Amino acid sequence: MAVLTKEMQDMVNNQLPFLATTNEAGLPQVGPKGSLHVLDETHLIYFEHTFRHAYHNLKRNGSAAVAVADRPAQKGFRFEGSVQIHEDDAFAKKILDPTKIYEKFPRAAVVVIDVERIYKLDNNLEAGTQIA
């Protein structure tokens, strides 16, 4: 597992992260995930409630990338790893019940991303360099 620094954690929690997956044809699909945040220093987590492209892609191949950037600072990170999808289990209940997500959506799941690799996305010649 790669370890998220305090800077990385703050960026994920304070900026809008984008989740990237691939469909059956291998084409990328990218979208913002407003609920995505840091679970702990080696995991990211988000609440899945649309059950559309990202969900089906993750169920099919089990891997994802998350990109986040601080535009004014011209800094960013990409996190890659495998995912665990929790639906209707004790972990999902523990995480989702306090959010009251079920008041807005009839169905929800918890997606946990095991961060295995981290890359710099800074606006300089080191962009794309693996750092963990």
Q: Digits of tens for pLDDT over the chain (132 positions)? A: 999 999 999 999 999 999 999 999 999 999 999 999 999 999 999 999 999 999 999 999 999 999 999 999 999 999 999 999 999 899 999 999 898 888 888 899 999 999 999 999 999 999 999 999
In the chain, DSSP assigns E strands to 18-22, 28-32, 37-40, 43-48, 63-70, 75-86, 109-120
Residue 124 lies inside a defined structural domain of this protein: yes
- Is residue 1 a part of any domain in this protein? no
CA 8 centroid distance within chain = 13
State the Cα–Cα distance between residues 77 and 53, nearest whole angstrom. 23
**Angle CA 114–119–122, to nearest 5:** 140
Tell me the C-alpha distance between 81 and 86, whole Å: 16
Q: CATH no. for residue 123?
A: 2.30.110.10
User: 66 lies in which domain range?
Assistant: 6-130
Angle at 69 between CA 67 and CA 74, to 5 degrees: 140
Which of 76, 59, 57, 87 lies closest to 118 in space, CA to CA? 76
pTM more than 0.85: yes
Looking at the 3D structure of the chain, how many domains does it have?
A: 1
Has residue 121 been placed in a domain? yes
69 found inside a domain: yes
Is residue 111, in this structure, part of any structural domain at all? yes
25 within some domain: yes
Residue 51 placed within a domain = yes
Residue 36 lies in a domain: yes
Distance CA 74, CA 101 (A): 33
